[in-house]
Amino acid sequence: MDLNGMHVVITGASRGVGAALAEAFAARGARLTLVARTVPALEDVAARTGGTAMPADLADPAQVDGLIGRIEASLGPVDVLVNNAGIDLTGAFIDMSMADIQRMVQLNAITVAVLTRQVLPGMIERGRGHIVQVSSLAGTGTFPGISVYGGTKSFVTHMTAGVRLELKGLPIGLTVVETGLITPTDMADSVLSYPPTRASFRRFYALGLLADADVHTVARKAVDAVERGKRTVRMPARAFLFPMLTNAPRRLVEMLLVGVPRR
């Protein structure tokens, strides 16, 4: 996809990966609609990238309901949706409040499904579009302290694989971004604040199986994936074995479904 002039919607765009994605898409000539709940930071990113700020708390179902329709009514059809918004509340599962668990599931999983469902009919009708799902290697193999977060990312990755099967043959691209810790970000600081999680990462670093991913490199690779129609962005490359093993059953099922009507 040639991104010049394309309308790109990015959630969680006020900081971290979302802000880096906004800068990377803007550098390719895209028109941006930026969604997040932190208004001053969101407006700052919009000013830097020439985008339009659309403040919303995406953990609130009422604000998510009809969001794509409202964006398209005022700013035109969405060509690319980047589901980046998410939170990680690190700690022992038994110590987490149900309110925190529900907020994580709502924002990281349900909102992703709802916005994907909202944007797809228009993309199918227009015969073009791309969706980027910012998942995580935690959806492949989790550590203590991030059990709920890892579960939400497993949902995103697995759901996207199923949606891809339903859209086979249509000019709609789906890219899943799976990374380890992305630095520097507030989420990385949150993850490493819980000693068992921090110790788990240190173990994998010592084994040479993980390395931190630079936020701007992740953003650039995600934008490249949209332009080239790539299915997956994984960082670090050294961790390829874990998602490859997890995705093997998905890819096998995909191959065995040859000839089965998708829609």
DSSP state of 56: -
Cα angle: 108, vertex 232, 115; to 5 degrees? 35
Catalytic, out of 143, 149, 155, 204: 149
User: What is the β-pairing status of strands 172-179 and 7-11?
Assistant: unpaired
177/238 Cα distance (integer angstroms)? 15
Q: Could you tell me how far CA 170 lies from the centroid of its own chain?
A: 21
Determine the Cα–Cα distance for residues 1 and 44; give it in Å rounded to an integer. 28
- Distance spanning both ends of the chain, measured CA to CA: 24
149 flagged as catalytic: yes
CB neighbours of residue 220 within 10 Å: 18
125 is written with which tokens?
A: 């009708």
Collapsed DSSP state (helix, strand, coil) of residue 197: helix
Could you tell me how far CA 127 lies from the centroid of its own chain?
A: 23
Catalytically annotated residues: 149
